[in-house]
């Protein structure tokens, strides 16, 4: 009863008015809706593996099959250098953060349109939708991480203390995906061209990142600096470093961080500006 009373006194007042200008994130509100983000993430994962015989095992199979292909084509046939690592290990250590990124990007960019029925009927912070798509990708990543562990055991690689950096690097990969995903999902609400473009963006981006080849292939100097504009270069390099050792991430990592911060902040503002119209045009 007392609790009731308190609730009544704290009746929130919501103001309805035409939206103007740029809005920042309301973190309090996002926090209040954390359970919604959780349930949307949970739904995405659940639905993805429903009625599939292998279920969540697909999250293991996909990286395994991809590494197999890469190893045959790039490792065996093309004899691509791999920083002195066994090629499969070299590939998987880049493939995991890449698939996390690509998955998160693909899911988030179509997420708003895919949830149009919710957006047009019910109010909640719209950021919850791309956020939960990115989170869902993280679950897949967690599962496929076992592939990496298995391969490290097989090749007898023991990670060093650099491993402690891993959570930070994974977070960075997620933020990168979120930054781009915010932009693309908001644009996709009005221009469905985006969802046709995304597969190509992902493909081009993959070859523009040091996944199947080592970064040394890119000439040092100005080219390497330009290459660093791709934030996934920093992610993949540091991820490999954290797990398998080798050269420490250099100044390219700094460029990547700056690029991601820029994309993320602008993405959030663009998203917040557009979200008021989502229900009307989706």
Partner 1 sequence: MSEIAIRVENISKQYRIGVLQERPDTLRDLLTTKAQRAGRWIKRGGASQYEGPAHIWALKDISFEVERGQVLGIVGRNGAGKSTLLKVLSRVTDPTLGFGEIHGRVGSLLEVGTGFHPELSGRENIYLNGAILGMRREEIDRKFDEIVEFSEVGKFIDTPVKRFSSGMYLRLAFAVAAHLEPEILVVDEVLAVGDAEFQRKCLGKMSDVAQEGRTVLFVSHNMSAVLRLTQETIVLDQGKMVMRAPTPEAVDHYLNMGLTKQGERFWSGEDFINQKAPFVPVALRVLNLTGQVVDTVNAAEGFSIELVYQLTEDITGLRVGIYMMTTRGEFVFTSFDTDDPQLYQQYTVRTQGRYISRCRIPSNLMNEGRYVLGVNASVYRIQRFFQDDKALTFTVDATGAPGMQWPEPRLGPVRPKLEWKIGKVER
- Please report how close the Cβ of residue 61 comes to partner 1 at its closest, in angstroms: 21
Q: Within a 10 A sphere around the Cβ of 207, how many other Cβ atoms?
A: 10
* DSSP letter assigned to residue 162: G
218 or 279, CB closer to partner 1? 279
Which spans of this chain sit near partner 1 (rule: CB under 8 A)?
A: 11-19, 35-36, 38-40, 42-43, 46-47, 50-51, 117-124, 190-193, 276, 279-281
Question: Contact 270/186 with Cβ under 8 angstroms?
Answer: yes
Alpha-carbon torsion, ordered 146, 47, 190, 178, to 10 deg: -30
Q: How far is CA 113 from the centre of its chain?
A: 18
Q: At what angle do helices 128-154 and 87-114 cross, to 10 degrees?
A: 160
12 or 219, CB closer to partner 1? 12
**Rounded Cα gap, residues 280 and 132, in angstroms:** 22
- Please report how close the Cβ of residue 25 comes to partner 1 at its closest, in angstroms: 17
121 or 156, CB closer to partner 1? 121
- Please report how close the Cβ of residue 126 comes to partner 1 at its closest, in angstroms: 10
Question: Contact 259/229 with Cβ under 8 angstroms?
Answer: yes
- Please report how close the Cβ of residue 274 comes to partner 1 at its closest, in angstroms: 12
- Please report how close the Cβ of residue 186 comes to partner 1 at its closest, in angstroms: 14
77 or 122, CB closer to partner 1? 122
- Please report how close the Cβ of residue 23 comes to partner 1 at its closest, in angstroms: 11
**167: alpha, beta or left? (left if phi > 0; alpha if psi -120 to 50):** alpha
**Tokens encoding 59:** 């999250």
Question: Contact 190/279 with Cβ under 8 angstroms?
Answer: no
183 or 227, CB closer to partner 1? 183
35 or 156, CB closer to partner 1? 35
How many Cα atoms are found within 13 Å in the side-chain-facing hemisphere of 51?
A: 1
- Please report how close the Cβ of residue 122 comes to partner 1 at its closest, in angstroms: 6
2 or 280, CB closer to partner 1? 280
Question: Contact 92/86 with Cβ under 8 angstroms?
Answer: no
**Tokens encoding 72:** 């045959």
């Amino acid at each position: 009863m007392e609790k009731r009373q308190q609730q009544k006194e704290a009746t929130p007042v919501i103001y309805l008015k035409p939206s103007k200008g740029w809005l920042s994130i309301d973190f309090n509100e996002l926090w209040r809706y954390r359970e919604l983000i959780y349930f949307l993430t949970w739904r995405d994962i659940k639905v993805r593996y429903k009625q599939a015989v292998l279920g969540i095992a697909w999250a293991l199979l996909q990286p395994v099959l991809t590494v197999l292909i890469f190893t045959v084509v790039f490792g065996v046939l093309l004899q691509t250098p791999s920083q002195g690592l066994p090629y499969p290990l070299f590939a998987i250590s880049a493939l995991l953060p890449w698939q996390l990124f690509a998955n998160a990007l693909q899911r988030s960019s179509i997420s708003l349109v895919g949830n149009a029925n919710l957006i047009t009927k019910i109010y909640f912070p719209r950021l919850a939708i791309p956020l939960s798509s990115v989170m869902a990708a993280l679950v897949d990543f967690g599962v496929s991480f076992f592939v990496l562990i298995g391969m490290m055991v097989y090749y007898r690689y023991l990670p060093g203390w650099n491993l402690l950096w891993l959570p930070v690097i994974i977070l960075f990969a997620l933020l990168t995906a979120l930054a781009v995903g915010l932009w693309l999902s908001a644009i996709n609400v009005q221009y469905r061209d985006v969802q046709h473009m995304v597969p190509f963006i992902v493909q081009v981006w993959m070859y523009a990142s040091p996944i199947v080849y080592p970064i040394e292939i890119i000439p040092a100097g100005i080219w390497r600096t330009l290459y660093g504009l791709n934030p996934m270069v920093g992610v993949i390099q540091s991820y490999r470093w954290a797990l398998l050792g080798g050269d420490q991430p250099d100044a390219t990592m700094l460029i990547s961080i700056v690029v991601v911060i820029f994309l993320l902040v602008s993405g959030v503002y663009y998203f917040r500006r557009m979200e008021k119209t989502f229900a009307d045009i989706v």
